[in-house]
Amino acid sequence: MAENMMPGGVPLGELPISPQANPGPQIGSPIQPGSPVPAVGPNPLQKYFRQPKIYISLPSKGTYWPRGSIEIPENGELPVYAMTAKDEMRFKTPDALMNGQATVDVIQSCIPNIKNAWAMPVLDLDTLLIAVRIATYGEKLELTSTVPVSNEEKSFTLDMRTLLDQFMAVSYDNEIVHNDLKITIRPITYMQFTKTAIKSFEEQRIFQTVNDTAMSETEKMGTFNDAFTKLTELTIGTIKTSISQIQAGDQIVVDVNQIAEFIDKADKEFYSAITDHIEVQKKKFEVKPMRVESSEEEQGQGVPKTYDVPISFDQSNFFA
């Protein structure tokens, strides 16, 4: 019965209507039962639709986005809208968060210039999420952390605009020179990142499951070796997809199969040079902890004058 109630508790179909009452202005003609619904033109509520709250530039400047996956305005700034109620509900769905679909849907909803968020380079991901949160809830983010030494729980306020400034102050270096080779790399896409995270999670869960079973040591060892092999292949596969070309003298190799074969047969020194460079670039775009200053009273308890408060981007509570 509740679903048939109008606001105020009046059952649908039983509204008290006075013949003398003025129904007010109506759009279109009354619709007769069984007749087609006529077009009424633009929605008169359109002026109340959400509007852009902020405008942002991307750390990638649009580079590494495939053609058709994003529309960059002439000024390079993307309009960002607040989340809708439907968007908020997406971030409360565990499965959609796990497989990345919620993140993709919300980004495309709040930043319409992005047509395919699965294709976005991961170096833009945190910037986009921060922008959506600012547009929805404002610039301030409340954090709770444990004060060192005293172990007291304390609240802190972070201005997230400083995080956007942080990302815009760094750039992605996509070239490595190793011996006689010049390697060009690219950041992985959100699709690749999500697939890798899910596979890694599944293999890690296998490790935990095997430890908790009554399998024989021989069976456990076999399962461990199989899972470790898959994780190794996953890691190396990610490196392979991160290389867009390798230049040797005047020859430039872009064929993915030839690059993959080279990675499989190159010495460890070359592989380490690639992974070290990628790790350096990854750290550039990680959210740095917030540096805070302790009070005189806290310092009297042995708390350092300054210390770091970690910032977590768990979508389940970051957008709450």
- Are residues 164 and 62 located together in one domain of the fold? yes
Please tell me the pTM assigned to this model. 0.76
**Domain housing 295:** 54-169+288-318
If one counts every other C-beta atom within 10 angstroms of the C-beta of residue 155, the result is 8
**pLDDT at residue 81, rounded to an integer:** 96
Residue environment code for 4-20, b if the CB has 16+ CB neighbours within 10 A, otherwise e: eeeeeeeeeeeeeeeee
**pLDDT at residue 235, rounded to an integer:** 84
> How far apart are alpha carbons 266 and 176 in whole angstroms?
16
- Are residues 197 and 139 located together in one domain of the fold? no
Nearest to 292 by CA among 148, 170, 167, 165: 148
Longest dimension (CA), the chain: 91
103, part of any domain: yes
3-state secondary structure of 316: helix
Q: How many domains does the chain have?
A: 2
**pLDDT at residue 230, rounded to an integer:** 78
- Are residues 152 and 111 located together in one domain of the fold? yes
Residue type, 227: A
- Are residues 238 and 309 located together in one domain of the fold? no
247, part of any domain: yes
- Averaged over successive runs of 10 residues, the pLDDT of the chain (320 residues) comes to 41 43 51 61 84 94 94 94 90 75 93 97 94 93 88 90 90 92 94 86 72 72 78 85 92 94 90 92 89 90 91 64
- Are residues 66 and 213 located together in one domain of the fold? no
- Are residues 164 and 226 located together in one domain of the fold? no
258, part of any domain: yes
44, part of any domain: no
Are 246 and 253 in contact by the 8 Å Cβ rule? The answer is yes
Rounded CA Rg of the chain:
27
**pLDDT at residue 25, rounded to an integer:** 52
13, part of any domain: no
32, part of any domain: no
- Are residues 151 and 185 located together in one domain of the fold? no
Work out whether strand 175-178 and strand 140-146 pair parallel, antiparallel, or are unpaired.
unpaired
- Are residues 90 and 156 located together in one domain of the fold? yes
